[in-house]
A = this chain, B = another copy of it.
């Protein structure tokens, strides 16, 4: 029973944040969480610290912990960073992918296709995450894969918003097909380029969606 609280708490909170049950900006009360999980504040604090480390949580001194809320500028920058990281992964994966990797990527892609056909957005986003993660793994560079995965997760709460963008799923699937094609052909340059664009387009779509949402709320407020 001991030595397992912190990972347990961290994973539970991470899940809550990534899945959207906890919203960006929301405050995370130490005492509340401690009670909810039946532990003292100490392991809660450690878990929060670790989440702060992976970029999901922000700890403001003497103010408490909050689910990270990225501003517009930070979002733009993060998507750009993500695009570059994915581009690297694409290039290396195209060069180094093994049989196992190939299978995993294709399998994830098929899951994406199935979800798109069923118009199941939730499932699509999960399969999408797996598709990208499979590419990270295929780079055969675990450090790179881990870093990129961390970033992916930190951005996940924001990607959820994209569920609202119309026809995003079909577009995304089409882009995936292009990426897969380049990977299978071991065309490193093309894989790099397509992955970068794939993420950048997401980012742009996302930002314009954000602008619309912001305009709407501002139209009500003042």
Contact = CB atoms under 8 A, between A and B. Distances in A.
A81 B146 CA distance: 11
A17 to B, nearest CB: 16
Given A3-B62, A61-B3, A84 B50 contact: no
A88 B87 CA distance: 10
Q: How large is the interface on A (under 10, 10 to 19, 20 to 34, 35 or more residues)?
A: 20 to 34
Interface string A52-67: 1110000001100000
Contacts of A61: 3
A141 B80 contact: yes
A143 B46 contact: no
A42 B2 CA distance: 18
A144 interface: yes
Given A3-B61, A61-B3, A84 B144 contact: yes
Given A45-B46, A49-B49, A53-B50, A147 B62 contact: no
Contact of A53 (B54, B88, B147): B54
Main secondary structure of the interface of A (DSSP, over half): helix
B81 A147 contact: yes
A143 B81 contact: yes
Interface string A100-142: 0000000000000000000000000000000000000000011
B3 A78 contact: no
A49 B78 CA distance: 24
Which A-B residue pairs are the 9 nearest by beta carbons? A53-B53, A77-B143, A49-B49, A84-B88, A77-B141, A81-B144, A81-B143, A78-B143, A3-B61
